[in-house]
């Protein structure tokens, strides 16, 4: 189940309706359409809730820390609201990661790429070998199914994965297999004493080691610099 208003307000999936109408109702593609939209609605819900709760957390810390000395600019913090924010970040990452594969499975079926892998990670790895330019591996030849995927679509998938999609998958894998995504937040004060509570993600989730995680980039798990 999903609500179209959630997509319309965010300007998402504006062209998918044409795909659905042009596909026979008995086609397997209709299953992929339904799964994709439901998963996307889950992701949007959790993103919106994490954004809302992070603002609430900042307001709560602002009230409780009103007497903190003016020379303090950052603290580590935790609260029930911060915990709920982290829950929604984790859920959003999980939903987006499955949505990535849902999107690829729809595109695979639509393009008729027989024997293509189910995983977008494996698909991108194979598709990148068939592209010219810096993304191509000269020592590899793409499998035969890659020829069924239009070159512009293959290039878009490879670009998405290299720019942000692969990083989302890495954070989700870190959270599921190696360590929780976060245990608290950074509470910061600006010059006007405005308080922000930021759930920060590690700069290097690929190291798979809590001891080696670094946070110098202050990657906001909720805000505009979060992985997408």
Q: What is the pLDDT of residues 165-204, one digit of tens each?
A: 999 999 999 998 888 889 899 998 876 667 889 999 999 9
Three-state secondary structure call for residue 66: coil
Cα–Cα distance, 79 to 51 (Å, whole number): 16
Cα–Cα distance, 158 to 164 (Å, whole number): 10
Q: What is the pLDDT of residues 15-60, one digit of tens each?
A: 777 777 777 766 777 778 888 888 999 999 999 999 999 999 999 9
Cα–Cα distance, 110 to 15 (Å, whole number): 14
Q: What is the pLDDT of residues 98-149, one digit of tens each?
A: 999 999 998 898 888 889 999 999 999 999 887 754 444 555 678 889 999 9
pTM for the whole thing? 0.84
Are 221 and 89 spatial neighbours (Cβ–Cβ below 8 Å)? yes
Domain ranges of the chain: 4-71+80-177
- Say what the alpha-carbon torsion angle 109, 111, 114, 118 is, to the nearest 10 degrees: -50
Q: For 33, which DSSP code?
A: H
Nearest CA to 54 out of 151, 179, 144, 188 is that of: 188
């Amino acid at each position: 189940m999903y609500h179209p208003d959630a997509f319309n307000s965010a300007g998402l999936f504006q062209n998918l309706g044409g795909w659905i109408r042009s596909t026979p109702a008995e086609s397997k593609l209709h299953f992929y359409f339904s799964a994709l939209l439901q998963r996307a609605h889950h992701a949007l819900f959790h993103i919106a809730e994490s954004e809302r709760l992070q603002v609430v957390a900042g307001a709560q810390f602002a009230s409780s820390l009103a007497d903190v000395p003016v020379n303090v600019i950052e603290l580590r913090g935790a609260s029930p609201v911060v915990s709920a924010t982290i829950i929604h970040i984790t859920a959003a990452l999980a939903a987006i990661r499955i949505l990535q594969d849902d999107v690829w499975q729809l595109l695979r079926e639509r393009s008729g790429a027989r024997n293509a892998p189910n995983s977008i990670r494996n698909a991108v790895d194979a598709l990148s070998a068939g592209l010219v330019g810096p993304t191509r591996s000269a020592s590899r030849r793409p499998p035969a199914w890659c020829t069924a995927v239009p070159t512009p679509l293959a290039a878009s998938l490879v670009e998405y994965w290299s720019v942000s999609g692969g990083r989302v998958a890495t954070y989700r894998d870190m959270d599921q297999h190696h360590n929780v995504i976060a245990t608290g937040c950074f509470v910061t004060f600006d010059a006007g004493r405005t308080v922000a509570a930021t759930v920060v993600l590690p700069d290097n989730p690929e190291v798979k080691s809590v001891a080696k995680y670094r946070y110098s980039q202050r990657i906001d798990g909720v805000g505009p610099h979060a992985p997408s």
